[in-house]
């Protein structure tokens, strides 16, 4: 564990002052939160393409925002893909909540901000393949006898068919480009794509940039959708998805004995982060504080998680260390150091058992006293965007003292023996509310990231 | 005084072949590796020249037990794995997959080794994917999603894709394979900001080491856009030259020349070892250079290059500020220098904004006429070259078949001695991200 002093300097402390989300449960944070507390699930047959013969023919689709309702002038984003539309709408919400401006009136940042000190760090996914065009082009170039693509024919077909905007918008830095443009961010800019952990990592690194003094304000978060033919195909082939075609609405069953994989979701989560000093100077109200971040690699296998969840343990321990929290300690109030955990909780056999083991390894017996739920049981898995939405969920848990449930958890699994807040939200205020929340995100290939949020207490 | 970050190992796989030394030799000799594309028939494309690392396979650079895994590596991943191997060897590090001697302990505890490798959008192998797609064609000769499906009513054509198909193309698989081979369990990230990816990764490694979260990091990037899809996309983005019958790429790519026909692609992986100075010195490592500053910025969209240049100018200023240096302290600049006139004009505008009139006397080290645009591979490769410039007190030869814009030291030049103390490496990306780092002599 890293032993570092907990930040007390307002120039280095990082607070959240705005949040925004577009999810399968709603077009903003409040509707998403209401859906989570109501135990709604966003799962339904896929409408984006004909998936009727796919073993996983369902997903959690989000409504695509109409940018005319987001920006006074949406024209710069006319060619933006689905994930970018999610991102722009969510970022506009966060920007507004932070008191930095209403994009519906004018997207210009307030003149009090130095644009070179406004940065952006997203964990956004690649854009959607222009599937029909791509398939036709490939088949036009296909030489069945040679079992190879004739690149001369292919090039001709590509020239006729492919569209510049649709092709370039697939590059995974394009969502970032649109959001930076929309809100006048000209400072530090990065997009990371570490699979299912990307936006957690983006938030952690954005906080690091602020703490280092490289920016005053950062837009951080992620957007993603893989609900397209090759995205769903890829995960089906990896046997990562639930194929519960007969019970779609309850297909995602994290920590349940009968879980059979995750359900794909889509959307965006965006946060406005700033140094406490900057927030104070402009009179902004912190929603929560980011007090810890940890990152690690399993360095184990491309396909499997390290069985003891060592990488996950390292990420959690580093984040706790940065926050100055002892996971084995009992506070004066008799409670553990962490009051809520947002689990990665995908609903795959492997993840949920190993995450449970890792949490137990880090927190020991204290683990039993920490409510830990998976909102993927309702939202599905937003892939790169999952961590950002879950960080926002943690902020809501801290603000309200209520933990959302793990839905569809009807059959306990002996390998998953923690308190997952099954099926009903829980009011934690009688126990003292939630001062500290931990959010886990793990990705294919063994990427692990943990964020710790705390109630802002001046 | 806080502990610094140093560069101790250089790794590259470029069109000059495997090894940072092969790259350096090629650059010193003033050769160009940009020739007619050999890996597929490019005659249907307007752009038919590129740089390819001919004969390179990651198979030759992974532990025997890991050879099978090369099957699930896209070319981009192979480039990263090869470059990382080269960097470890050059740094004199011992890792799980590359021990200095049989059974030797790793130099650093695995938890203290991080990995930040920039990546691009990886194109699927056309033959492999299309073979599967073709099996989903219905009796009318049209591809059918219904046939593609693997459940009731489908023909299961998707089953003709290998189960691990998706894992070949996830951008974080570059870092994942490298971390697995070398048992690097520290912080790991994959930055995907096109040409800025590599330098953004170097900056992130620097911050992670500063924060105390790692003692050594693999850092840089890799990308292969020399694919049919890469040519189409970069062509549509206005990045590529129409090459006609030209056979010598160095005659095509003319950085900062308003008459340049455009850019050319080159596949490359560039990965360096960034290390905490105290632990590097303690193990007696050779230090090529100190990594003293990193910064980034974002360019506003505009028709005015002076406005767009703000992104790169912000990045350079931030890196210099971080390094505690003034523009006058910079003795050499390694810019992206794509050879695309509009991009070069924007880049030159940013350099002029920061360096003013003194820009004319600062040599620009341009790599693109020799190896092409490596996209996400650029930052790591350029960092390695900058470190070598400082280490050998030498600037490589510079190719230029035309005339760069006035006020820029970018014309043809032989390799030459140069006592450079501080070198700036910078790049702006398709999409607007910009990054810069500053290296100082050891």
Separation of alpha carbons A77 and A98, rounded Å: 23
**Is B44 in contact with A144 (Cβ distance < 8 A)?**
no
Low-confidence winner among A100-109, A442-451, B12-21, B302-311 (lowest mean pLDDT): A100-109
CB A270 within 8 A of CB A94: yes
At residue A1 the predicted structure's pLDDT band, cuts being 50, 70 and 90, is: very low
- Helix ranges (H only) for B252-334 are 277-282, 305-323
Q: Are residues A151 and A71 in the same domain?
A: no
Cα separation, B420 vs B144, in Å, equals 61
pLDDT confidence tier of residue A4, bands split at 50, 70 and 90: low
pLDDT higher than 90, residue A106: no
**How wide is the angle at C-alpha A234 spanned by C-alphas A202 and A382, nearest 5°?**
35
B228 pLDDT above the threshold of 60: yes
Question: With an 8 Å Cβ cutoff, are B126 and A152 in contact?
Answer: no
For residue A10, tell me if it sits in a domain: no
Half-sphere exposure of B265 (CA within 13 A, CB side): 29
Nearest-neighbour CA in chain A from B387: distance (Å):
24
- How far, in Å, CA of B410 to CA of B414, rounded? 12
Of A257, A281, A305, the position where a domain reaches its end is A281
**B298, A120: Cβ pair inside 8 Å?**
yes
Q: What percent of chain A has pLDDT over 70?
A: 99
Interface test with B, best of A6, A117, A151, A232 (most B CBs within 10 A): A151
Contact A167 B232 (CB under 8 A): yes
User: What pLDDT is recorded for position A6?
Assistant: 72
A57 catalytically annotated? no
DSSP characters for A244-307?
-TTSGGG---TTBTT---B-BBEEEEEEEEEEHHHHHHTT---SEEEEEEEEEE--S-SSS--T
Whose CA is closest to A261, among A243, A249, A277? A243
Q: Determine, for residues B430 and A192 on separate chains, whether the beta-carbon distance falls below 8 Å.
A: no
- pLDDT value for A3: 43
Q: Tell whether the model's pLDDT for residue A458 goes beyond 90.
A: no
CATH code, domain with A398:
3.40.47.10
The answer as to whether A306 is a domain residue is yes
User: A219 with A338, same domain?
Assistant: no
Contact A261, A376 (CB under 8 A): no
* Burial degree of A5 (CB within 10 A; 0-12, 13-18, 19+): exposed
Phi-psi region of B173 (alpha: psi -120 to 50; beta: other; left: phi over 0): alpha
Q: B 60-79 residues with CB below 8 A of A?
A: 69, 72
Is B276 near chain A, with CB under 8 Å? no
Interface predicted TM-score of the whole assembly (ipTM), two decimals: 0.98
Q: Which residues of A touch B137 (CB under 8 A)?
A: 139
Across the interface, whether the CB atoms of A191 and B44 are under 8 A apart is answered no
Domains identified in chain B and CATH numbers = 5-123+169-441 (3.40.47.10), 126-166 (no CATH)
- Answer yes or no: do A354 and A380 share one domain: yes
Q: Retrieve residue B417's tokens.
A: 């001695």
Q: In chain B, what is the straight-line distance between the N-terminal and C-terminal CA atoms, in Å?
A: 17
Contacts of B431 in chain A (CB under 8 A): 171, 173-174, 176-177
For residue A373, is it within any domain?
yes
Distant-in-sequence, close-in-space partners of B42: CB < 8 Å, separation ≥ 6: A151, A155, B36, B48, B50, B231
Query: Predicted confidence band at A111 (pLDDT cuts at 50, 70, 90)?
Result: confident
| Residue A2 belongs to some domain of the structure | no
How far is the alpha carbon of B441 from chain A, nearest alpha carbon, in Å? 24
Catalytic residue among A314, A344, A394, A416: A344
Q: Do residues A155 and A201 both lie within one domain?
A: no
Q: On the CB side of B406, how many CA atoms lie within 13 Å of its CA?
A: 1
A29, part of any domain: yes
Shared domain for A141 and A215, answered yes or no, is no
Residue A144 CB neighbour total at 10 angstroms:
11
Domain edge (last residue) among A221, A251, A281: A281
Cβ-contact A423, A269 below 8 angstroms: no
Residues from chain A that touch B127, judged by Cβ atoms under 8 A, are 147-149
Q: Stretch B36-50: mean pLDDT, rounded?
A: 98
Put simply, the answer to whether B207 touches A209 (Cβ < 8 Å) is yes
CA distance B263 to B249: 9
Q: Decide if A117 is inside a domain.
A: yes
The SS3 assignment for A51 reads: coil
Question: Would the CB atoms of B190 and A53 count as touching at under 8 Å?
Answer: no
- Residues from chain B contacting residue A80 (CB–CB below 8 Å): none
The 3-state DSSP class for residue A18 equals strand
A43 shares its domain with A146: no
Residue that terminates a domain, selected from A219, A253, A281: A281
Residues A421 and A326 in one domain: yes
Nearest to A95 by CA among A274, A240, A353: A274
First-last CA distance in chain A: 27
Among A196, A224, A228, A394, the active-site one is A196
Q: What chain B residue is nearest to A126 in terms of C-alpha separation?
A: B121
Domain that holds residue A318: 294-454
Is A50 within a domain?
Answer: yes
Q: What is the DSSP letter of B97?
A: S
A315 and A409 both lie in a single domain: yes
**CB nearest B296 (choices: A4, A189, A446):** A189
Would you call B236 an interface residue with chain A, using a CB distance cutoff of 8 Å? Answer: yes
Report yes or no: A191 and A122 within 8 Å, Cβ to Cβ: yes
A344 a catalytic residue: yes
Q: What pLDDT digit, counting tens, does each position of A14-54 carry?
A: 999 999 999 999 999 999 999 999 999 999 999 999 999 99
**Number of domains making up chain A:** 3
pLDDT at res. B418: 96
What residue in A sits closest to B38 (Cα-Cα)? A151
| pLDDT tier, B2 (very low <50, low <70, confident <90, very high otherwise) | low
A61-80 residue pLDDT tens: 999 999 999 999 999 999 99
Asked if B151's CB is within 8 angstroms of A243's CB, the reply is: yes
Q: Per residue in B333-354, pLDDT tens?
A: 999 999 999 999 999 999 999 9
Same structural domain for residues A319 and A430? yes
Angle at B193 between CA B24 and CA B425, to 5 degrees: 35
Task: Decide if pLDDT at A327 tops 50.
Answer: yes
Please report the pLDDT score of residue A369 as a whole number.
Answer: 97
Residues A39 and A154 in one domain: no
Using DSSP, state whether A213 is helix, strand or coil: coil
Based on the fold, state whether residues A98 and A157 are members of the same structural domain. no
Average pLDDT value over all residues in chain B: 97
Picking from B72, B151, B432, the nearest residue to A55 by CB comes out as B151
Structure tokens belonging to residue A434? 């939630």
Q: What number is the average pLDDT over the span B355-381?
A: 98
Q: Residues A112, A228: one domain?
A: yes
Query: In the prediction, which pLDDT does A85 show?
Result: 98
């Amino acid at each position: 564990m890293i032993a570092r002093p907990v930040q007390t300097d307002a120039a280095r402390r990082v607070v959240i002052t705005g949040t925004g989300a577009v999810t399968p449960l709603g077009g903003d944070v409040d509707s998403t939160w209401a859906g989570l507390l109501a135990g709604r699930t966003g799962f339904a047959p896929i409408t984006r393409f004909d998936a009727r013969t796919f073993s996983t023919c369902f997903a959690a689709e989000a409504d695509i925002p109409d940018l005319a309702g987001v920006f006074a002038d949406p024209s710069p984003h006319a060619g933006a893909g689905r994930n970018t539309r999610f991102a722009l709408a969510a970022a506009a919400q966060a920007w507004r909540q932070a008191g930095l401006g209403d994009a519906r009136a004018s997207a210009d940042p307030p003149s009090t901000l130095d644009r070179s000190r406004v940065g952006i760090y997203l964990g956004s996914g690649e854009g959607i393949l222009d599937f029909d065009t791509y398939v036709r082009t490939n088949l036009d170039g296909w030489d069945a006898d040679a079992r190879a693509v004739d690149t001369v024919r292919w090039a001709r077909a590509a020239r006729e068919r492919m569209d510049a905007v649709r092709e370039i918008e697939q590059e995974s830095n394009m969502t970032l480009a649109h959001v930076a443009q929309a809100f006048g961010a000209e400072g530090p800019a990065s997009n990371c794509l570490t699979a299912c952990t990307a936006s957690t990592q983006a938030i952690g690194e954005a906080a690091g940039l602020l703490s280092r003094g490289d920016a005053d304000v950062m837009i951080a978060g992620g957007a993603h959708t893989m609900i397209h033919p090759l995205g769903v195909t890829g995960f089906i082939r990896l046997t990562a998805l639930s194929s519960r075609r007969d019970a779609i609405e309850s297909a995602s069953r994290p920590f349940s004995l009968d879980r059979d994989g995750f359900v794909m979701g889509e959307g965006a989560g965006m946060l406005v982060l700033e140094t406490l000093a900057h927030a104070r100077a402009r009179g902004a109200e912190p929603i929560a504080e980011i007090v810890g971040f940890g990152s690690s690699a399993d360095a184990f296998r491309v396909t499997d998680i390290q069985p003891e969840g060592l990488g996950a343990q390292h990420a959690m321990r580093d984040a706790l260390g940065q926050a100055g929290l002892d996971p084995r300690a009992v506070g004066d109030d008799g409670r553990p150091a962490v009051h809520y955990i947002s689990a990665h909780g995908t609903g795959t056999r492997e993840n949920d058992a190993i995450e449970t083991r890792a949490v137990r390894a880090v927190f020991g017996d204290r683990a039993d006293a920490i409510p830990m739920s998976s909102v993927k049981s309702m939202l599905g898995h937003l892939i790169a965007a999952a961590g950002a939405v879950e960080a926002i969920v943690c902020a809501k848990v801290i603000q309200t003292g209520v933990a959302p449930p793990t839905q569809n958890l009807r059959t306990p699994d002996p390998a998953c023996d923690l308190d997952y807040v099954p099926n009903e939200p829980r009011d934690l205020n009688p126990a003292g509310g939630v001062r500290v929340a931990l959010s886990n995100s793990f990705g294919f290939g063994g990427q692990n990231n943990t964020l710790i949020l705390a109630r802002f207490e001046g | 005084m806080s502990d610094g970050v140093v560069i101790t190992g250089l790794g590259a796989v470029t069109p000059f072949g495997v090894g940072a030394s092969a790259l350096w030799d090629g650059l010193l000799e003033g050769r160009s590796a940009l020739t007619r594309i050999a890996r597929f028939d490019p005659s249907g494309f307007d752009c038919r020249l590129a740089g390819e690392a001919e004969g390179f396979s990651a198979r030759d650079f992974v532990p025997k037990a890991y050879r099978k895994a090369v099957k699930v590596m896209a070319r981009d991943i192979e480039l990263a794995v090869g470059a990382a191997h080269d960097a470890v060897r050059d740094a004199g590090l011992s890792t799980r997959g590359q021990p200095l001697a049989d059974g030797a302990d790793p130099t650093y505890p695995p938890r203290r080794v991080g990995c930040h490798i920039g990546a691009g959008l990886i194109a699927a192998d056309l033959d492999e994917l299309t073979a599967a797609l073709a099996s989903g064609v219905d009796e009318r000769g049209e591809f059918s999603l219904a046939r593609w499906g693997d459940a009731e009513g489908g023909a299961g054509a998707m089953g003709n894709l290998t189960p691990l198909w998706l894992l070949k193309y996830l951008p974080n698989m570059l870092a994942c394979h490298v971390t697995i081979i070398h048992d690097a369990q520290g912080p790991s990230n994959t930055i995907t900001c096109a040409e800025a990816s590599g330098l953004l990764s170097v900056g992130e490694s620097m911050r992670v080491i500063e924060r105390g979260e790692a003692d050594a990091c693999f850092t840089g990037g890799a990308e292969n856009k020399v694919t049919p899809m890469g040519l189409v996309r970069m062509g549509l983005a206005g990045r590529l030259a129409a090459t006609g019958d030209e056979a010598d790429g160095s005659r095509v790519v003319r950085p900062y020349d308003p008459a340049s026909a455009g850019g050319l692609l080159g596949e490359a992986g560039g990965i360096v070892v960034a290390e905490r100075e105290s632990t590097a010195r303690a193990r007696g490592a050779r230090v090529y250079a100190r990594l003293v500053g990193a910064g980034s910025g974002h360019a506003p969209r505009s028709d005015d290059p002076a406005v767009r240049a703000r992104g790169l100018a912000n990045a350079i200023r931030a890196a210099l500020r971080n390094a505690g240096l003034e523009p006058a302290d910079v003795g050499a600049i390694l810019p992206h220098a794509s050879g695309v006139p509009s991009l070069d004009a924007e880049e030159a505008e940013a350099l002029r904004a920061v360096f003013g009139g003194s820009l004319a006397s600062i040599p620009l080290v341009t790599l693109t006429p020799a190896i092409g645009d490596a996209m996400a591979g650029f930052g790591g490769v350029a960092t390695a070259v900058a470190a070598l410039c400082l280490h050998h007190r030498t600037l490589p030869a510079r190719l230029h078949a035309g005339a760069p814009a006035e006020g820029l030291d970018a014309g043809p030049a032989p390799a030459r001695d140069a006592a450079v103390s501080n070198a700036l490496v910078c790049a702006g990306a398709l999409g607007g991200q910009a990054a810069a780092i500053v290296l100082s002599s050891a």
